[in-house]
Amino acid sequence: MFNAPHPPVRAVSKLNTIKERTASVHNRRREALAGYLLILPALVLFIGFLGYPLAYSFYLSLTKYNFVYSNTPTWIGLDNYIKMFSDPQFRVALLHTGQFTLMFLPALMLLGLGIASLIQSHAIGGNILQGVIFLPVVVPLSIAGVMFIWLYSGNFGLVNFLLNKVGLGYIGRAWLNSPETALPAIAIVNLWKYTGLSVVLFLAGLLAIPSELYEAARIDGANAFQLLIYITIPNLKETFALVTVWGLIESWKVFALPFVMTRGGPGDSTQVLYLYIYEMAFKYYDVGKAAAMAFFLALIILLLSLLTIRLMQTESQ
């Protein structure tokens, strides 16, 4: 909802003389002119760097165009979009991206809420520890990827080292080399990086719940579990919505980690949609198909986000 404040409304009805009325119209015109001028830089940048490319990309998605081997784009309408679904590699990428989201999103929320509640319950050194958990957020994604390649290494990695130390050495392995563990391993890196943000959001949400609600419920004899279900979670609706939408976008767009860590391998077990789009455009040079898949991905994200917001809204009614 657009709730921006605006300057005090002039008492227009009091302007009766022609002189005063033309003066006020003049003022409004100047205000409008100033408004448009100030918007101009942002508008030009937007149209230039976002609007025009978006339109051109959409046009390309309706053509058959290989950058190297076609001379010009050939119009084929929605063919790319339809043929997409019969491409087994596309289906695999779609599946794996969905699996990745399922591995990442629920864990993100659980960890975020869990850690935030620990901090909110006045754990000792809570602020510092929150900072430590937030630290991975500032580590660039590709660097985190390279770091974890090494951490997950079969011979030289921290993970197997720690497992050995606690006596669980037998499950140690080259985590990125097994088709079953590669995708979850990448999901864990994503969690490592973004949980800090989730914690911040949930903490803000938790702190916004008035403590009177809890006190009143305690007086009525509610136990900890009931407090959680009936007070905490309902009041965190907006936070859940926010974290979900943001988490959905992050996981459907996942690219840097699979690209840096496994390149879609082993086999195709970490082939995700964005990676496939990238390869389609920059390795196979088929920009028509790539643009179509990119718009499809954008559509998925848009729909899921709208769905989440709609769900959260109707529930809070």
Partner 1 sequence: MNNRFTFMKVASALALFAMLLSACGPAKTPASTTLRITIDSWLIKKWPIDRAAQRFMADHPEFKITVAPNADDYGNNWLLPWSQGQTESDLMCGSMDTTISPFVAKDLLVPLDDMLVDDGKINLEPDQFVTPLLEASKYGDHYYAMPFMGEVYYLTVNTDMMKAAGLTDADGKPIPPKSLNDVYEYAKKLTVKDATGAVQVWGLHLNWAWNSAAITYMALLQAQGGGYLDANGAMDFSSQAALDVMTFARKVVADGYASSATVTDENADRNDMKAGKAAMILTFHSRFKEAQLALGGTDKATVMPWPGSDENGSNAQAIVCVIPKISPAIDLAKQFIREQMMDKDNQQWSANQYGKLPSLKRNFEGLPDPEYQMVLQALDKSGFGPKFVQFNELDKLLQQETQKYILGQQDLNTMFANLLAGSSQLDLTLVSK
Partner 2 sequence: MRLADIRIKSVLRRLPQSILLAVIALLFFSPLLWVLLTSFKNTDEIYGGQMTILPEQWTLIQYQGITKQAKFFPTYMMNSFLITIVSVTIIAIVAILAGYSFGRLRYSARDGLFVSFLFILGVPNVVFLIPVYLMLLQLKLLNN
**Minimum CB–partner distance for residue 89 and partner 2 (Å):** 17
> Is 163 a residue that touches partner 2 (CB under 8 A)?
no
230 binds, among partner 1, partner 2, none (CB under 5 to 8 A by kind): none
Nearest alpha carbon to residue 252 among 85, 93, 97, 84: 97
Question: φ and ψ at 74, to 5 degrees?
Answer: -110, 130
**Contact of 244 with 205, CB cutoff 8 Å:** no
Cβ nearer to partner 2, comparing 240 with 252: 252
Nearest alpha carbon to residue 193 among 250, 249, 153, 275: 250
Q: Determine the distance from the C-alpha atom of residue 316 to the mean position of all C-alpha atoms in its chain, rounded to a whole number.
A: 23
Cβ nearer to partner 2, comparing 123 with 204: 123
> Is 69 a residue that touches partner 1 (CB under 8 A)?
yes
Q: Which stretch binds partner 2 (CB under 8 A): 50-58, 95-103, 201-209, 228-236?
A: 50-58
Residues 6+ apart with CB under 8 A from 153: 160, 174
Among 222, 284, 300, 311, binds partner 1 (CB under 8 A): 284
Among 75, 85, 156, 230, binds partner 2 (CB under 8 A): 156
Q: Which stretch binds partner 1 (CB under 8 A): 10-18, 133-141, 232-240, 280-288?
A: 280-288
Q: How far apart are the two ends of the chain, measured CA to CA in Å?
A: 16
Q: What's the maximum distance between 2 C-alpha atoms anywhere in the chain? A: 91
> Is 26 a residue that touches partner 1 (CB under 8 A)?
no
Among 9, 18, 68, 219, binds partner 1 (CB under 8 A): 68
> Is 5 a residue that touches partner 2 (CB under 8 A)?
yes
H helix runs in the chain, sequence order: 18-46, 52-61, 79-84, 88-120, 126-134, 141-151, 158-165, 179-207, 211-219, 224-227, 233-235, 237-252, 256-261, 273-282, 287-316
Cβ nearer to partner 2, comparing 179 with 307: 307
Stretch 177-206 residues interacting with partner 1 (CB under 8 A): 177-179, 182
Residue 176 is classified by DSSP as G
Cβ nearer to partner 2, comparing 202 with 252: 252
**Contact of 112 with 198, CB cutoff 8 Å:** yes
> Is 260 a residue that touches partner 2 (CB under 8 A)?
no
**Minimum CB–partner distance for residue 230 and partner 2 (Å):** 22
Beta-bridged to residue 63, according to DSSP, are 75
Stretch 266-305 residues interacting with partner 2 (CB under 8 A): 274, 277, 281, 287, 290-291, 294-295, 297-298, 301-302, 305
Beta-bridged to residue 66, according to DSSP, are 286
Residues in contact with partner 1 by the rule CB under 8 A: 27, 30-31, 34, 37-38, 40-41, 44, 67-69, 149, 153-155, 174, 176-179, 182, 261-268, 271, 279, 282-285
